[in-house]
Amino acid sequence: METNTDGTYFQEGDHVRIKRTGEIGRINATDGGVVYVLMDETRETKLFSARVDEDAYIELATSEVAGTMSRELESEDSGAA
């Protein structure tokens, strides 16, 4: 995700979730305010607005790998204390 003076936008590589259905995909391209999301299960491409706001149909989804890594770091920190 990228934040600049114009707002916050999704970027290529972001994992996103469709709010209505819960489907997850990865943004594989952006073009002038539009993001192309390749859905994980169906492998189809869907188009959405690139801007992140309350009205957006998609939201940033944390990957399982990132969640696992952060839990491992927390475990190491608590074990060292």
Comparing C-alpha atoms, which of 7, 19, 20 is closest to residue 50? 7
Rounded CA gap, 1 and 10, in Å?
5
For residue 31, how many other CB atoms are within 10 A of its CB?
A: 9
Question: Locate tokens 């995909």: which residue?
Answer: 25
User: What tens digit of pLDDT does each residue of 46-76 get?
Assistant: 999 988 988 999 999 975 544 433 444 455 5
Count structural domains, the chain.
1
What domain range includes position 11?
A: 2-80
CATH of the domain at 45: 2.30.30.30
Number of helical H runs and strand E runs in the chain: 1, 7
Identify the residue with better confidence: 66 or 42.
Answer: 42
